[in-house]
Amino acid sequence: MVEKYKFITNSLSMIANRLAQSITAFVLTAAIARNLGAEAIGQYLLAYSYYFIFVGIASQGLKTLFTRELTREPQKTSVYLMSGTLLQLIFSLLSYGALVIVVFLLPYSSKTSTLCYIMGLTIIPFALSNVTEAIFQAKEKMHLIAIATVPVYALRLIIMIWAMQLKYGIEYLGTILFLSETLILVIEWILITQFVKIQWQIDKEFVWNTIKNARTFFAIEAIAVVSSRIEILILSLLGNEFLVGLFGAIVQLLQPFLIIANSITVAIFPRLSKVVDQGREKQRQITENSIEILLIMALPLFIGLLFFGKDLLIFIYDSSFAQANLALCLIAISLFFLPFTRSLSFLLVANGFERVNLREVVITTSLGSLGGVALVSQYQLLGAALMALLMTILSFSQFIYFTYTRLFTLDLWRIMRRPLVISILMLPVFILLAKISLNFIFTLLITTCAYLLFVIFLAIHTFGGLRFLWIKLLRDH
């Protein structure tokens, strides 16, 4: 019972954190579109992409390693905190230097380059906060991450919109991002001192061993973050900032799902790491449940975007973004595959198959980039969408293959049947609403309510019906 409570609490905390991040980014993108235009969105998203890539290279490998190892050796928490923070600081400074050099050498405008330099500074506080968050995750205190981040995300959004209303330029948004991440770092350190005893010393042996053990994780994350932003980078070099803005607006519409997916899989990761020694059947059950939950959200979302993607783009941004509807539909196909890739990636890491993940990201990024250059140069925005879909399918194929050959097979019918039921139930709702052409806000409210009702009905049926639940409730009372 305690384990289930922890899992639910941690999942909800991570979802709250990621949803706050997603919603604020979503609103910010719309605000920039309405106040500064698509080109400004392109500049902001391009600068954010470079920041995201280099902070991922500097920190995500250590975060994954620390989370896994601390679940096995919780007594070393203070060593990980101090020595890990020093190591993370060194890597983040080197990463920022690399960002400056790369941006300087590429043919961007002075305004775009300056924004990249300013936002790149955020690498340092964000990377350092990843150490504290790894400890929170390993100790399954993920609610502390939400406490530190959610209020700051909301405050940051308010200040950014206020700055745009006062006619401040896009570079001020980069400065606000840096200051907000620094504030999060300070809050997390205050929280972590409540249950971790600070030892003001550096373990040199730990630092050296961590560098050796993290090499695979660094390689995985470095290629993975480049892979996640490669479409924007290629589009910025073969197209322009306006196309980057359109593509970024499309991707932003999928962010709520992606963040929920990442939150659920991150919350499950410590449990997967703990049950490795208990046999593969337990791992299979956890993994299949994770994929099923994500598919219950992903499949209806895909169908909804096919029907109302264009209306959503106009509603969130403006009519000039309607031209991106076909690209949105192409990218939305990836919703079929993402639940598998997110869940199986963490499953393989939990079992010590980091090199398998490394092989996957190398193959996916290499083939995807080669195909992307040809597609983007020929079809521009549609080419970037096709490239994103191609890379998702490549990733899915490899994760399925490695899971089946190294661990176990999945019961695909068990995974798919409830998501398919929800999708089939939602289809008449979408068709009816598309024919009667209501105001989009009403359409959104009706589809959301219908989806929630269907999910609740299916959940009740799964647990034995209302009578069973009522009897169980009375018995527990």
What pLDDT shows up at residue 322? 87
Q: What are 322-369's pLDDT values in tens digits?
A: 888 999 999 999 999 999 998 898 888 888 787 787 788 888 888 888
User: Which of 210-233 are b and which e, b meaning 16 or more Cβ less than 10 Å from the residue's Cβ?
Assistant: beeebebbbbbbbbbbbbbbbbbb
What pLDDT shows up at residue 259? 75
Cα–Cα distance for residue pair 55/177, rounded to 1 Å = 14
Highest mean pLDDT among 109-113, 131-135, 209-213: 109-113
Domain boundaries, the chain: 1-213
Q: Tell me which residue has tokens 């990636």.
A: 345
What pLDDT shows up at residue 14? 67
Angle CA 456–458–461, to nearest 5: 110
Q: Tell me which residue has tokens 């983040």.
A: 92
What average pLDDT does this structure show over 215-219? 68
What average pLDDT does this structure show over 168-189? 91
Cα–Cα distance for residue pair 165/34, rounded to 1 Å = 11
Q: What are 391-418's pLDDT values in tens digits?
A: 999 999 999 999 999 888 999 999 999 9
What pLDDT shows up at residue 32? 87
Cα–Cα distance for residue pair 65/134, rounded to 1 Å = 9
When pLDDT is cut at 50, 70 and 90, the band that residue 4 belongs to is: low
Give the pTM.
Answer: 0.72
Cα–Cα distance for residue pair 290/198, rounded to 1 Å = 36
What pLDDT shows up at residue 10? 64
Q: In 3D, which of 303, 361, 384, 382 has the Cα closest to residue 336?
A: 303
What pLDDT shows up at residue 473? 38
Amino acid at 266: V
What pLDDT shows up at residue 477? 46
Beta carbons of 258 and 23 less than 8 angstroms apart:
no
Count CA atoms closer than 13 A to 36's CA, side-chain side: 27
Evaluate if residue 258 carries a pLDDT over 60. Answer: yes
Which are the contacts of 354, defined by CB distance < 8 A and separation ≥ 6?
A: 216, 217, 220, 348
Tokens of 462: 């799964």
The values of phi and psi at residue 243, to 5°, are -65, -35
What pLDDT shows up at residue 468? 46
Which are the contacts of 110, defined by CB distance < 8 A and separation ≥ 6?
A: none
Q: What is the mean pLDDT of the chain?
A: 83
- Percent residues over pLDDT 70 in the chain: 88
Cα–Cα distance for residue pair 313/33, rounded to 1 Å = 11
What average pLDDT does this structure show over 223-227? 73
Lowest-pLDDT range, 99-113, 205-219, 430-444?
A: 205-219
Q: Tell me which residue has tokens 């939602």.
A: 426
Lowest-pLDDT range, 202-206, 232-236, 470-474?
A: 470-474
What pLDDT shows up at residue 392? 92
What pLDDT shows up at residue 466? 44
Evaluate if residue 119 carries a pLDDT over 70. Answer: yes
Cα–Cα distance for residue pair 460/463, rounded to 1 Å = 5
Q: What are 12-56's pLDDT values in tens digits?
A: 676 677 778 778 887 888 888 878 877 888 888 889 888 988 888
